[in-house]
A and B are shown apart, each in its own frame.
Chain A
C-alpha cells in the first residue's frame, strides 16, 4: 500500500493497524449509542406494559404516512452512503460527492418532515410533560379526546426519543457537509478513506434506530 506518511500516525506501525483501530473504535462508540437508546426503549416498554390501551390509542395521533415517508427517506440515504463508500474505494470521487450531497438532502428532508410533524402536534397543545393539553380538531382527530391519564407519558417518550434521534440526524448532516468539503479538496483516495467509512457506519446506526422507533411509536 502506498500511503502518504502524513496520514499514518507515528504511533501506528502499519496503515492496516491504524484503520482497524479506527473501525473498532467506531463500533464501540456505536455500542454506547445503542445503550443510550436502550434506556429509552426500556422506559417505553415499561409504560407500554402498564398502560397498553392508552399507548395504542395515543399512537393513533401520529401519522404513519409521514413516519413511513421518513423511513423510506432514511433507507434511501443509507443506500446512497453505502454507494459512496463503494465509489470512494474505486477512487471515483465525483460520484462520491454527488452521493454524499444526496445523503445530506435526504437527511434534510427527514428533518423537514419532522418539523411539520412536531409543529402539527404543538399547534394542538400536544407538548411533552406538564404542558400537555390537547385541544382543537385536525386531520380527522378530535384532540381533546386524547387528554387522558398517561397519554402525556406516551408523548413525552415520543418527543424524547425522536428528539434525541433528531439530534443524531443533525450531527450526521454536519458530518456529511464536512465530508463533502474534504472530498472536493481531494483528501480521500482508495488507500485512505476512513472518515467516509466511519461516518457511514454511524449513519447506518441512526437509520437502524429509526427502523425500531417507527413501528414502536407509529404502528403498534
Chain B
C-alpha cells in the first residue's frame, strides 16, 4: 500500500493546515481534542460534586456553588461531550472510509460545524466566566430559569449555537451515506457503525431544531417576558417541559445509537464472526430512532401532565426495550462459536454490555408509572442515566477509540496498561453509581447540596455516599491512566500494521497503516459484507501476532 509520506497526518504542516483542513479525518481529530478537553472539564466538575457529597453538610463548597457546578457539569457533559462525541470524532474519521468515499459530501460544511460547535462551547464557558454562573440544572425548567440570573441568556444561546453544529453534522452524514457509497457498497453491506450513525443523523436533523426554538423562546421569555412559559405572566411551565423533552429524549438516542454501532463492529471483529442478526440490528437502530420521538412524556409523570398522556407515554417507553433487546441478545449471540479475542477494545465492548444492560433495565423501571412516582428526581434516576451515558455511550466511545487508535495515529498503545485501566474504570464506575441506585430508591432526592435531612430517615446514606465518592476517584484514576498511555503511545508507541485486528471493513483492508489524505488511491470495489470473515481468510494473517 501507500508509503507513510502520503499519510493524511503528513499532508500539511503547521497549525493552519489543521485549523483550515477540510479533510474529514483531521476534522475528526479536531473534535477529539476539543471533546477530550471538555470531558476533562466535566469530569473535574463531577469530582467537585462528589467530593461535596462525600459527607453530609457543607464539605468543600456552598449551596450556590454546588448548584452552579452540577449545572455546568450536566451542560458540558451533555451538549459539549456526549452529543457531539461519537459522530464528531469517529463518525468523521471512520464513516467515509467505511463506505469507500473520499470525503463526506460537504467537507467545508463539516469544518464549519466544528467551528460552530467551538463557538457554542466557548460561549458556554466564557459566559460562565465573564457574565455569570447559571444554577438552573441542565434542564432549564421555567419559571426558575426565567427568573434566574442573566447568565441564562448566554447558556441558552450557547446551546442554540451548538445545536446547529449537531444539525449540520447529521445532515452531512445522511447525504454522505446516501450519495457517496463506493460501487458494490449496498445498504446490506454497510458496516453496522454506519447504520447507527445514519440513524443518529436522522434524529439529529429532526430533533435538534426543536431545542433550538425552545432555547429561542426561553431566551425571549427571559429577555422580554413574552409569557409563554412563565406562569406568573399567564404562561405554562409544563409546556416548556414538553418542548425540552421533545428534544432531549430523542437526544439520548443521539448519544447511545452511535455507541451501539461501535459495539456491533467490535463484537464482529473480536469474535471473528458474522454479526448475528445483521438486518435486525441495522433496522432496530432505525426503530429506536423512530420510537424515541414518541416517549418524551416519561420525564413528566409527576409534572402535572394528564393521566392519559402519562399512560400512553409509559406504554411507548416500554416498546423501546424491544429493539434494544434485539441488539443486546444479538451481540451476545455473535460470540457464540466465535473466536473471542479479549483485547482492550473487546473488554470495553463487554463492559458496555454489562453496564448498558443495567442502565437500560433500570430505564424500564423508571418508565413504569407507579414506580416512577417514587423514583422520579431521586438518585435512582441519576444512577440510571450515568449507567447509560457514561457506562453506555462513553464506554462505547472509549472502546471505539481503542479500536481505531492504530488507524488514527498509526501507533499501538500498551495493551497491559489498557487492560488495567479498563478494570479500574469498571470497578470505579460501579462503585460510584450502583450505590446511587440504593440511595435513590431509598428516596434521596437529586440536586441536593446537603443530604443531612435525608440521613435523619436513612442513616446509611453517609456510608453509601462515601463509597460513591471513593468509586469516582477510582474511576478518575482509570481515566487519567488512559490519557497517559495514549499520550505515551503518540510519542513513542510501536508502529501499527495496517490491520492489527484482522478486521474486515474497508478502513482496515483498503488503506495503509494510516489512511492517505484522500483515503484511497482508487475507489474500492466492494464485493463482500463487513463481517464476512469466513470468505476473507486473507485478513486473518494480517492480525497482530502477539496474542
Interface of B is mostly: helix
| Interchain CB contact under 8 A, A10 and B102 | yes
Q: Kindly identify, within residues 96 to 151 of chain A, every residue whose CB is under 8 Å from any CB belonging to chain B.
A: 127-131, 149-150
Whether a CB of chain B sits under 8 angstroms from the CB of A178 is no
Q: Given the known inter-chain contacts A21-B179, A129-B220, A160-B217, please indicate yes or no for A35 contacting B227, CB distance below 8 A.
A: no
Beyond A32-B167, A150-B234, is A17–B227 a contact (Cβ under 8 Å)?
Answer: no
Given A13-B523, A156-B227, A157-B228: A25 and B175 interface contact (C-beta under 8 Å): yes
Using a CB-CB cutoff of 8 Å, which residues 212-266 of chain B contact chain A?
212-214, 216-217, 220, 223-228, 233-236, 239, 243
Which residues of B have CB within 8 Å of A128? 220, 224, 226
A129 cross-chain contacts in B, Cβ below 8 A:
220, 223-227
Chain B residues 178 to 231 lying within 8 A of chain A, measured CB to CB, are: 178-180, 205-206, 208-210, 212-214, 216-217, 220, 223-228
| A32: contacting residue among B105, B205, B227, CB under 8 A | B205
> Which residue of chain A has the shortest Cβ distance to B210 in the bound complex?
A39
Q: Number of residue pairs across A and B with beta carbons under 8 Å?
A: 108
**Residues on B with beta carbons closer than 8 Å to the beta carbon of A20:** 179
Query: How far, in angstroms, from A46 to B227 measured CA to CA in the complex?
Result: 13
Q: Per a CB cutoff under 8 Å, which of A24, A43, A164 touches B239?
A: A43
- Say if the beta carbon of A40 comes within 8 Å of chain B: yes
| Known interface pairs A35-B209, A36-B213, A128-B226; A46-B171 also in contact (CB < 8 Å) | no
Query: Closest CB of chain A to B501's CB: distance in Å?
Result: 27
A36/B226 contact (C-beta < 8 A), A10-B518, A130-B233, A153-B235 known? no
Docked CA distance A28–B101 (Å): 21
Query: Which residue of A13, A25, A156 is within 8 Å of B224 (Cβ)?
Result: A156
Q: Are the C-beta atoms of A32 and B208 separated by less than 8 Å?
A: yes
Q: Is A152 an interface residue (CB 8 A)?
A: yes
The answer to the question of B106 belonging to the interface, with a C-beta cut-off of 8 Å to chain A, is yes
Partner of A156, one of B101, B109, B228: B228
A31 proximal to B (CB < 8 A): yes
**Is the Cβ of A25 less than 8 Å from the Cβ of B171?**
yes
Across the interface, which residues of A come within 8 angstroms of B235, CB to CB? 153
Shortest CB-to-CB span from A158 to chain B, Å, is 11
- Counting CB contacts under 8 A, is B172 at the interface? yes
Q: In the complex, A9 Cα to B104 Cα: how many Å?
A: 11
Q: Which residues of A contact B176 (CB under 8 A)?
A: 21
Residues 32-80 of A at the B interface (beta carbon under 8 Å): 32-33, 35-40, 42-43, 46-47
